[in-house]
A and B are shown apart, each in its own frame.
Chain A
Amino acid sequence: MQNIKNKSTTSQNFENYSQYLAAIVESSDDAIIGKDLKGTINSWNRGAEVLYGYKKEEVLGKSIKIIYPKFKYLEFEKIMTKIRKGKKIIHYETIRQRKNGSLVSVSMTISPIKNQLGKVIGASTIGHDISEKKLTEIIQDFLIQASQVLSSSLDYQTTLQSVANLAVSSLTDWCTVDMLNENGSVDLLAIAHINPQKVTWAKKLRQKFPIDMSLKTGLPKVLKSGKSEIYPFIDDELLVKSAKSQSQLKLLRKLNFKSVMIVPLKIGSQILGAMTFVSTHENSLYTQQELVIAEELARRATQAVENSRLYFKTQQEIKERIKIENHLRHSEQKLRQLVESNIIGVFYANETGLITETNDTFLKISGFSRNDLKKGLLNWHKLSPPEYEKSDLKRFMECQKKGECAPYEKEFFRKNGNKISVLIGCTKLKFFKHEYIFFVIDNTERKEMEKRKDDFISIASHELKTPITSLKVYTQLLEKKFHSDPQIEPYLIKMSDQIANITNLINDLLDVSKIQAGKLKFDNEKLYLDEVIKETTTLIEGAFPTHKIIIEGKINHPILGDRQRLSQVLINFLTNAIKYSPNSNQVIISLASDYKKITVKVKDFGIGIAKKHQHKLFSKFFRIYDRNDKTYPGLGMGLFISSEIIKRHGGEFGVKSKLGRGSEFYFILPVQENLPNISDEPFISSL
């Protein structure tokens, strides 16, 4: 009773236990499949449904081969043989195919199922999806290596070769990297083979059978579409289909392709090339996982290539920049030396007049210290005496207009308040709109020399005039005494003329010297030139009775000027006219005026001036020679002095002449309303 009871309890327990086990199996996330020795499925849990995509009803009674990819059929037989022998297969990693055709990596433990007699009647397969794990592991391992490889070189070809080598060591038997070239075909850039001896052979093969870019499959397709291609299992059927000739088929067979992946190398949408992975072993055929890794590798390789390209570009740019910088440094050194040389004072100033930078020479000239400069104590307006304001402004305008101004003489206040004479020029900085660079030369010595020269001329003239004064007085006394003695008087008149000539020469010399020194002083009075002309004409007619001076026209407008100096111009024009027209007896003065300007023309009927000489007329010490090479007296200072006087009155002057037909000298002066003031500034440019 007890036994029966026990037995029934046991039987009940067993039933409960079976149900319990079934529940465990059903609830497992692992795929648990039962099959008989033929491989017919007799049990299929929910985990199997999830992993392989087939419903229980779809597979019960069908062969387990339904989840084998075609290229793994051999494995089925091997497994079944082991099972039949009662052997267990533990954690066997392989590939299966889902209902949708996709491949999946699985780790399987296959155990034989024995009946109560111990005979094997089937097998249980516990499958575990390891895609994720495998991928992660492989990728991690691979990418660590990849990173090392890719960072080891920055040369782009080396990089790709390293990637191919890396792929061969862990992912494939044979790897090639092809890059698109400008012609639209491909260059084989890197190749690696599990058997290094075969690399050369593989290269030769490519030479013999170049890639036909018109093909709609394989590498050309990937290069066109930018999408990866995988040929998981290449059987002989496929080879026959793709071979173009018998010899190629023979070769393809010899190559022993078993599985191929081609992945593009691209940046964004730009396809640079592709990597081809070839497996020659049936037991390592490519699946989606390998493809994912290959794509990741390609992505990283592309990145590395891009990095190397950028690196080289950057390197190139750096080299360029270094070159430019060297060049700049070189120029700057040159410039610096110019600025720092002790020859010329240099300073920079902005538009407000603040001096921002100077060299030592300028500091020496101005007497300021570098500390004063830092404190902003150096300012044009402080340094420049007020009497130079007008001429400075003129130069500043010139600089604004032309970008630079010619050197001119001025003075600066030194720190101690004393004035120093300088020669200064300025140029506007091109790239700093409101900055100017000034070049300054200490002019003290030159001024000193000039002053000594001027003093000398002044003293010499004075000294010369002293004996002439008494000579003149005595001569004129004699003239008065013997004015009725025809034996003596003519000689005395000649002596008087020569004394007058010497006096004029001395005066001219003094004037030229003053013009050069910028010291020719002018009165600035309102005057009607008619009166001056009449007085002067009378004077000249008295001195030269050979010529009659005819005045035509009238001047109705006043001018501002120096009566004596303008008279000097007229005397010069008239004496020239008379001097150079020995065969004529008249000189015509034409006058004209309007509200803007007055014009004075002095016309003679003399020897005239050849065109080629005319531009030199108003320069210093120029003299005319007539056709017979007869020279006319004078040092040629008169027209130079006259032109300077007219210039200083803000006027113009010139000559119209033809050789043998006489000359017409003219000057034009602005009338009073149009002339604020006579310029006090010397024309240094005319020196």
Chain B
Amino acid sequence: MTQQTKNILVVDDDRAILEAICLTLESFGFDVDSTTNGTEIHQKLILNKPDLIVMDVLLSGIDGREITKELRHQDSFKDIPIVMISAHPNVSKTALEAGANIFLEKPFDIDKLLGAVEKCLNC
């Protein structure tokens, strides 16, 4: 891996999933930061702007699509690729409309997740 290590922020309110995703991404060489709290995202972004965000659609208390929409309107964050994940397959359309680059339905193959991450980072 000659490239600079990519930094990924993972957001999911389910800790088990969060850990699994983080473990996967870390084991494939990414720097991973994570949170279960959607409201913390902004803080995280300001402190350490990630190269990519993996985010659940339905977070406790806040909708990942809303966060995505907001970010797409902020100059400093609008270009961060976002992979949205959800157990609800019928939210894929709205997730993409809100500004997500890729939608993955839970449960997903880790190859698909890695593929999506690679695809977004290479654009």
Contacts and interface: CB of A to CB of B under 8 A. Distances in A.
A366 B87 CA distance: 39
A503 B89 CA distance: 12
Contact of B20 (A461, A465, A470, A503): A470
A472 B87 contact: no
Nearest to B92: A564
B88 interface: yes
Interface residues of B, number: 20
B74 interface: no
Contacts, number: 55
A3 B55 CA distance: 175
A473 B106 CA distance: 10
A546 interface: no
Contact of B27 (A462, A466, A471, A477): A477
A507 to B, nearest CB: 8
Interface centre among A466, A468, A474 (most CB of B within 10 A): A466
B4 interface: no
A473 B87 contact: no
B90 interface: yes
A467 B23 CA distance: 15
B90 A472 contact: no
Interface string A448-487: 0000000000100110011111111110110010000000
A465 B108 CA distance: 10
Contacts of B27: 477
Contacts of B109: 472, 476
B47 interface: no
B107 interface: yes
B20 A469 contact: yes
Interface residues of A, number: 20
Given A473-B17, A521-B90, A466 B23 contact: no
B21 interface: yes
A588 interface: no
B106 A477 contact: no
Interface in B84-122: 87-90, 106-111, 113
SS class, residues of chain B in contact with chain A: helix
A462 B105 CA distance: 11
A470 B23 CA distance: 11
Contacts of A465: 87, 106-107
Contacts of A120: none
A482 B19 CA distance: 20
Interface string B13-52: 0101101110110010000000000000000000000000
A499 interface: yes
B121 to A, nearest CB: 19
B110 A466 contact: no
Contact of A461 (B14, B16, B87): B87
Nearest to A472: B107
Contacts of A458: 88
Given A462-B87, A466-B87, A469-B87, A477 B110 contact: yes
Interface of A: 458, 461-462, 465-474, 476-477, 480, 499, 503, 507, 521
Interface of B: 14, 16-17, 19-21, 23-24, 27, 87-90, 106-111, 113
